[in-house]
Structure formats: structure tokens, C-alpha cells
Chains A and B, each alone.
Chain A
Amino acid sequence: MILPLAPSVHEPADVLGGKAHGLITMMRLGLPVPAGFVVAVPAGAAFLRDGTMPSGLEAARDALGAEAVSVRSGAAVSMPGMMSTLLDVRGPITTAVSDVFASWNTPRARIYRVLHDIPHDLGTAVVIQRMVYGERGGSGVAFSRDPTTGAPQPYGDVLFGHRGDTVVSGRTATLPVTALKEREPTAWEALVAALAVLEAHYRDACHVEFTVEAGRLWLLQVRPGGLTARAAVRVAVDLADEGLIDRREAVRRISPHRLRAAATPRMLGGDIVARGRGASPGVATGRVARTADRAVRMAADGPVILVRPETSPSDLHGLAAATGILTARGGLASHAAVVARSLGRPAVVGAADLLGPANLLRAADVRDPADLLGAADVRGAADVRGAADVRGAADVRGAADVRGAADLLGPAAPREGTLITIDGSSGEVALGNPGLTPAVADTHLHRLLGWADDISGDRSPRTGEERLTAAREKL
């Protein structure tokens, strides 16, 4: 069950796995993909059944003629960040492949599958490719359109002089992907062209992982979608305007659930000072309090946004007193995120911009690895909090007692008392109060619902969800 990554391979995604299927699709579209092969899903399933490894693995690796390779998981069903990736493998790869096969059964991966109705016996494919070195250029993630707003420009992150695992781990501060234009103009042009080709093929917004090696662009993964609900509405309408899909398809793509999410009030643009991940939806405006105690005291005089590196149980009184919560570290399953949702408070987590440069490393170490609910594609080791704690053991005992939270936040963090607004859907943080954009002001949403009425033939006044549901029943 070893197949080359080649345009001539036509097996479906449930055999090749999603990653290899995407790579072969890109090869067929003439896009640059490092040479490699895939150990297909049935081989992963066989390994789970009785531990057998496919024959011909080392021969295929030798035939690749590459000094070093990457060994990455790639199941038929997307399980972002739940399984292993091994980069820069030299010599035999059998152990690396069996490690990736076995990573199908980590406890977190099992939880993910139960929650998403994915059978436990499927197993994963493994993709082996010639290693491309971001150290000799850069690596990044690029969306064909802004995943938050749907605006039709490439959007993403790039990190010069590093490989891709550094980008997705968040260990080092990234630059906007547009920085490629200056630093790697040839690769930038190739990337923009590739994103357009992929959109035309998938008839949807796409995102890719890429590496630039010695001026040359390589694509390492592609996935369609990955947009917030509001962005998905705009992209569906724009794609219909561009003729890539028809209006019926645009209406088909937005489920009533997505419509409801898109209708959540959002912050207007404003002066954005930080970006994190929206962890509890809603918009909150208030004055910055940088400790839980201050939040409780300040809340008597008006709404407060509690700003913390991260939160712990000893912040609970501050979390309860605050109107909104902003943390520099942590992901959608962090303590702050869980508590904010339980209290119904808007929250933005993992806004690493709030930390000083010296703290970026620490921020990354405690960032939550993967988004269990699949809303984003951030990955990392399973036990990151543990890693940070082990390092912390070297610190002076009791340092946590006397070290205030504020000094962990960098100069970029807003000062106490500053009025800020956080958007718990988009993850944006703005100075002052930029105001709200109600869903009814969204012209894209209006047009989509108009198309829905054209399909249903019903123009009576109803809620947006009812209009959409009526149209989708006719489709």
C-alpha cells in the first residue's frame, strides 16, 4: 500500500488520506510539491489491527534519493494537530512511520474521534516527502482570502529562516504573509498564482502550508474552507459574483447554523492593537484591569476587561467581575476560555502580541496545541503545559507569589485603565470603542438572503434563518 505522490495516482481520499490527496491534486494542477510517496490508509489500519508494517518502505525511501525526509500523518478525515509529524528524518524511516501510525491512538485523538463521530479503526496514512528547508528561506500558512472577514486578498503568516513546525507552534513571532512580496518576490508571485489556481479548482477559499527554499516556493498541504461564519457568507457571495459558483450553490453552502454564527454582532474595524483567538463569542468594551483584584475593585465604576498572561483558579473573582476577558496565552480549551464561556463573557485568548519579546518563548510553550473542535489548524505537542511547568521548576520557589501578572505582559499590552474593545468571535482587540456592526448592515448577508428568497419564492417577512431554511428545502 505504498503509492507515489504523482499526478497519475487517482485513488480517492479515503485511501490516500486527505493530505496526500491534496498534494496529488496540486501536482495535477502543475503546482510545486516536494517529491514523495504515501503509505496509504489501509496500511495504517493494518498496523492498528495487528502491528504489521507494509513491505517496501525502505526501498521506497531509498528510491526517493533524498538525504532527509519529512514523515507526516494524513488521515482520511481531518484531525488537526492530533497526530505526529517528524521532520528531517535521515536514514531508515520504519520507526518514524510506525510512530505516526501509533499516534492515531493518543488519548486526545480518541476523544476527538468520539466527539466527531469518526470510527476508531480507520487509521491514518503517512506522507513521506523530500525535506524542504524553510531555514533557507521561510515557511508559512496562507489563506486565499481573509479567514476572518472574507476580504478577497491573500492572508496569513510567514516566518523567515524557519521551517513550518515553528510557524504552527507559535514559538516565534510571525510576519504577515505579504512580507514575502519584499523578501521573496518570485515565491510571492508563485504563491498568489497558486492560491488562485486552487480556488478555481476547489471553487472555494483555500489555505496552504508552504515553504520557500532558496527562493523557490513549495506547497506542503492544501485545504478548502477554514473560514469564520461571517467570512464564509462573504466568500459564498463573492464567488457567485465571480462566476465560480452559482447563486444556488452559494445558498447551499451556508447552513442555518453558520448563518446564526454570522449574525453575532461584530466589532467595527477600529484601531486593532492585538489579535488572538475568539474563545467566547460577543463583543465587550471596558477599562483594562491587569489583575483579578483590580478587576473586582474597578468593576464598581464601570465595565472592566481583565487582561492576563493566562488565568488560574485564583483569578476566578476577577473573571466573574469582568465584562470581557483577554489573555496572552492559551487556546480555545484554556482555563480562561472555559470559564469565560461558563460565565457567558466574551473572551479573546492567545493574543501573544501582548507579551514582551522576551516572553514570546514562554507564551508559545503554554499555548494550547490543537483546536479540538476543528475551527483552526494550530498544532503542537500534547503536553505543553507540562513542559512549561518543568522548566519553571528551576525558578526560585515561591516566585509566583511575588511576581505580579503585569510584568509578564510586554510594553505592547494596554495600560491599566485604558478603554479597549474585544471581539470574542474574531479574536480582535481594539483601542477605545469602535462600535458594533449589526448583522443587518452586512450587505453580503442581505444579498445571500435575497437569493434564498428567489429560490423559495417566499418574500414574506421572516427571520434570516427561516428564509435560508425555506430555500435550502427547495434545493
Chain B
Amino acid sequence: MSEVLHTLRCMGFAELSRIADAAALTGAETESELIDLAVDGLVTRQMGAWGPTDAGRAEDTRRTAAELDAAGARGAVDAAYGKFLTLNPELLDLCSAWQLRPVDGVPVPNDHHDTAYDARVLSLFGELDQRAEVVCAHLAAALPRFARYRERLGAALDRARAGALEELADSLTSYHVVWFQLHEDLLVTLGRPRG
């Protein structure tokens, strides 16, 4: 199990700093491991971004399945995934509500001038995050590497609450982006195709 390979597998193409942040490693550690993985033909670097190769994806699938079976965690991850799926449509609704605001029944881009509306959406995000925290705790108990998602989701929400409006749905470190990596990770971990 290579944390960096698996992180990259769930992120797609990304620059070094984002990979290091997601994997909770230093830039130097991450780069060193990426170079080893590249030598083995498991990752590639294009236009400044790293991404997994087909061989890298296949190898990660194999290692992730082995890790899951060794930990005897399939049942627990499967159950947590079921709970995640009930939260997923709500998260997507809230991201849309953050980006588009109904005005006279017409969705218009949210210019964030209506602070009362933003406060309502942010508060709903907070409620959802509390329920997501329970799911993340179950996942981390089954496989410790999932604990990083809790930290990243919480950090994104904190940044948004501190006024960084793009940190809910509109940046590469946003709650939405981390959430989708978690979704991808669950699919990969359980060996399920998307759709």
C-alpha cells in the first residue's frame, strides 16, 4: 500500500503541493515517493501535474483490496459507504445552493451579497458536516488512513466560515473536492466502478 499512489489515484492529476496536503506528508517526502513510483511506471508527470498510469491504477486496486482484506474491514467500510450515499445528494444540493441562488424563482449565480442566505446555506453545511463526521469516524476506525478526510473536510469548512467563500464548492481545496475524493476512495477501496 503506497499512500501517495492511492491518494493520487483518488485525486486524478494534481500538483505536488495538493498531493502532499492530501497525503499529510511534506513536499519533499511526497516528491521522493512520486519519483520512485514513476521509475516503476505507476505514475506519470505531464505539464507540471502528477497522475496515475493505467499500471498504477491496477497496482493500487490490487494493494487496496489486499489492505482491506488484511484489516478485515470490508463489512465496516461497506456499511459506512451506505451512510455516505445518503448524505451525498444533500451535499450536492448544498453546493448548488451555494453557487446558484433562487431569485424570483430563477436560479442566478450567487453573488454572496445576501448574507442571510449565505448564512443559511453555511449552517446547513455545518449540520451535514456533523453527520459526515460520524461516517468518517466509522471509516477511520476501520482503516486509519480515512482519518485524513475528516481533517481536510473540517479544515475546508473552517476556512469557509472564516470568510473564504470559495472553500465550500469552488476551489481545489474545497469541501466539495475533498468530498468527491472521499467518494472516489470509497469506490476504489470497495472495488466498485462509478455509475
Contact = CB atoms under 8 A, between A and B. Distances in A.
Contacts of B54: 401-402
Given A296-B47, A317-B49, A317-B51, A338 B187 contact: no
A386 interface: yes
Contacts of B103: 255, 257
Determine chain A's interface SS by DSSP, over half rule: helix
Nearest to A116: B102
Contacts of B171: 342
Interface in A416-464: none
B19 to A, nearest CB: 13
Given A114-B124, A389-B192, A313 B99 contact: no
Interface stretch (B26-34, B57-65, B141-149, B153-161): B57-65
A397 B191 contact: yes
A400 to B, nearest CB: 3
Contacts of B151: none
Contacts of B11: 313-314, 316
Contacts of A111: 90, 93-94, 97, 124
Interface in A366-384: 366, 368-369, 372-375, 382-384
B93 to A, nearest CB: 5
A329 B93 contact: no
A395 B194 CA distance: 11
Nearest to B190: A393
B169 interface: yes
B192 to A, nearest CB: 5
B65 A397 contact: yes
A306 to B, nearest CB: 13
Contact of B96 (A225, A372, A397, A400): A372
Interface string B181-195: 101100100111111
Contacts of B194: 310, 312, 389, 392, 400
A352 to B, nearest CB: 13
Nearest to A385: B88
A313 B10 contact: yes
A341 interface: yes
Given A108-B90, A111-B124, A362 B195 contact: yes
Contacts of A260: 108
B180 A257 contact: no
A25 to B, nearest CB: 20
Interface in A46-82: none
A107 B195 contact: no
B99 A369 contact: no
**Which one of A310, A366, A385, A403 has the highest number of Cβ atoms from chain B below 10 Å of its Cβ?**
A385
Contacts of B104: 255, 257-258
Contact of A257 (B93, B95, B96, B108): B108
A17 interface: no
A115 B120 contact: yes
A388 B54 CA distance: 24
A398 B58 contact: yes
A310 B195 contact: yes
A229 B106 contact: yes
A341 B10 CA distance: 22
Contact of A317 (B12, B61, B169, B174): B12
B89 A385 contact: yes
A283 to B, nearest CB: 16
Interface string B121-145: 1001000000000000000000000
A405 B176 CA distance: 23
Contacts of A362: 195
A114 to B, nearest CB: 5
Nearest to A365: B195
A408 B176 CA distance: 25
Contact of B95 (A258, A309, A333, A383): A333
A83 interface: no
B177 interface: yes
Given A114-B120, A312-B184, A386 B106 contact: no
A282 to B, nearest CB: 11
A143 B46 CA distance: 49
A333 B85 contact: no
Given A313-B184, A317-B51, A401-B61, A383 B120 contact: no
Contacts of B174: 342
B49 A341 contact: no
A116 to B, nearest CB: 6
B193 A333 contact: no
B163 interface: no
A368 B195 contact: no
B190 to A, nearest CB: 8
Contacts of A393: 190, 192
Contact of A335 (B58, B99, B180): B180
B106 A257 contact: yes
A292 interface: yes
Interface string A299-342: 00000000001101111110000000000010011110111011
A313 B12 contact: yes
B95 A338 contact: yes
B132 to A, nearest CB: 12
A386 B85 contact: yes
B107 interface: yes
A388 B195 contact: yes
A399 interface: yes
30 contacts: A107-B90, A108-B93, A115-B120, A115-B124, A229-B106, A255-B104, A258-B106, A292-B12, A296-B47, A312-B12, A312-B183, A313-B12, A315-B12, A316-B12, A316-B13, A317-B49, A333-B96, A335-B180, A338-B92, A338-B96, A372-B97, A375-B106, A382-B86, A383-B86, A385-B89, A386-B82, A397-B61, A400-B187, A400-B194, A401-B54
| Top-6 shortest CB links A-B | A314-B12, A400-B193, A386-B85, A342-B170, A333-B92, A317-B13
Given A309-B195, A312-B184, A329-B195, 14 more contacts: A115-B97, A310-B194, A313-B10, A313-B180, A313-B181, A314-B10, A338-B96, A339-B176, A341-B99, A342-B171, A362-B195, A372-B93, A395-B192, A395-B193
